[in-house]
Structure 1
Amino acid sequence: MAQDYPYMMSNNKIGPILQKTMTAAKPLKFTHDFLKKLGFTSTNDRAIIPLLKKLHFLNDDGSPTEYYNRLKDKNDLPYVLGERMRDLYSDLFTINTDIHNASDDEIKGAIGRVTGQDETQVSRFFATLKALLAIAKFGEAPQKIEKKKEEAVKTDIETPKQKKEEHKPSFHYNIQIHLPATTEVSVYNAIFKSLKDNLLI
């Protein structure tokens, strides 16, 4: 629900935490202990976990999702973050499809109308949203665009396979006739007449 927009008190830690997740081994579960191992020991830093869950980088049990894997790619990280933000803040993007480029006052106004929260809570939502916007990029990732171009070029240069000609099987028969040694012409006439009547078309 919209009123459940996640927020952090230490929004300046969002970028560094994402950078650490990019270089650290993927955990079985993203826990407070794992966060401490990354060097983030403040209790305020723990709010990154529900934030990552809302963005669907983590499952409810803390295990990484397929989107988490894309955080490991420094080139893809800002784009997958932008994709997940469009989903999490879909109500805001419904109000303005270009909300990520809107003024601060316009964004706060949209958050207030969508959530119905007071000014203090709206400011908290806004601060976290702005911290995410500073990292995210919106649009299609360059590597995806390049891949589509390569596939298009490959399709253009490929020639269709020619179908092999189908040949009907043909059969040849060799019939050998051993003629009897005789001087009777009527015998030969009878043999050839029988061949004509029974074999020749």
Structure 2
Amino acid sequence: MATHPYISGPGNVAQMVTQLRKSFPNVITSETVKKLGIAPNNESYVINALQFVGVIDSEGKKTSSAAKAFSHHKDEEFSKEFASLVQEAYASLFELHGDNAWKLDSDELITFFRQSDQTSATIGGRQASTFKVLAGLSGHGDVPEPKAKKVGNGAKAARASKPAQVKNESKPSPNAGAGSAGFQRNSLGGGVALTVRVEVNLPADGTKETYDNIFKSIKENLLGG
């Protein structure tokens, strides 16, 4: 069983610590982490990491050591106090490697954690990544940037917010002025008479000049000028 903390997204631990520097609740539980929107479905792993380094106790309350560290506003002073928490929590690692433990690469850390906890390569890798994040918060390395939160429904939401495009047809419809002709029998004389039915489709966004030109064309070509 792994005694050292691990999580698939160790950056979530850094995000939680950063949040606690701004506001530290009286009691921190998985529900607290969930409400903050940090580490979805992995909230308990964040809690485990905080408890391991002594930020909170088994009841989720701030420890006296954490109170001292999180009272510092300047990053340098906070990192120095937080480093003490991490160094005490990972005592066996620092006992073996001394201060050089802060600088160990991933392979060396994975070897240590796998040998200590008899974990798999995957868990050992996550343990190493979690330590490196804690080391970064202690001033020994970089701290990963938090990922941007996703908007609900993703691409669908983006498409819904995009206004519908309306085609702007400025030209008269091809059917404008077009007519259809048919024959019918003249009921009076018994002969054949020609009937012409004219159908005009006017563009919805046409100008007055457009309409005038259409009717002028009808007058000249169909009504004999």
Output the TM-score relative to the length of structure 1: 0.60
Partner of 2:96 in structure 1?
95
Q: Which has the higher contact order (CA 8 A, sep 6+)?
A: 1
Contact 2:15 2:38 in 1 (8 A): no
Answering whether residue 118 of structure 2 is matched by residue 120 of structure 1, we say: no
Correspondences of 1:103-182 after superposition (within 5 Å)? 103-137=105-139
C-alpha distance in 1 between matches for 2:42 and 2:65? 24
Gaps of 5+ in 1: 139-201
Which AA in structure 1 matches 2:7?
M
C-alpha distance in 2 between matches for 1:86 and 1:46? 22
Answering whether residue 80 of structure 2 is matched by residue 79 of structure 1, we say: yes
Gaps of 5+ in 2: 141-225
Partner of 1:166 in structure 2?
none
C-alpha distance in 2 between matches for 1:41 and 1:58? 18
C-alpha RMSD of the superposition: 2.1
Partner of 1:6 in structure 2?
5
Cα distance, 1:16 vs structure 2: 1.8
C-alpha distance in 2 between matches for 1:41 and 1:12? 9
C-alpha distance in 2 between matches for 1:120 and 1:35? 24
Answering whether residue 62 of structure 2 is matched by residue 60 of structure 1, we say: no
Give the fraction of aligned pairs with identical amino acids, expressed as a percent: 17
Cα distance, 1:36 vs structure 2: 3.6
C-alpha distance in 2 between matches for 1:6 and 1:41? 15
Contact 1:10 1:45 in 2 (8 A): no
C-alpha distance in 2 between matches for 1:32 and 1:83? 25
Cα distance, 1:41 vs structure 2: 6.5
Answering whether residue 18 of structure 2 is matched by residue 19 of structure 1, we say: yes
Deviation track 1:158-192 (CA, whole Å, cap 9, x = no partner) reads: xxxxxxxxxxxxxxxxxxxxxxxxxxxxxxxxxxx
More helix by share: 1
Contact 2:83 2:139 in 1 (8 A): yes
Cα distance, 1:29 vs structure 2: 0.9
Contact 1:18 1:71 in 2 (8 A): no
Partner of 2:45 in structure 1?
47
C-alpha distance in 2 between matches for 1:41 and 1:126? 18
C-alpha distance in 1 between matches for 2:71 and 2:19? 9
Which AA in structure 1 matches 2:9?
S
Output the TM-score relative to the length of structure 2: 0.54
Q: Secondary structure at the match of 2:42?
A: helix
Deviation track 1:67-113 (CA, whole Å, cap 9, x = no partner) reads: 22222424333222211111121111121101111222222222222
C-alpha distance in 1 between matches for 2:31 and 2:109? 35
C-alpha distance in 2 between matches for 1:37 and 1:118? 31
C-alpha distance in 1 between matches for 2:111 and 2:84? 22
C-alpha distance in 1 between matches for 2:123 and 2:129? 10
Aligned residue pairs total 136
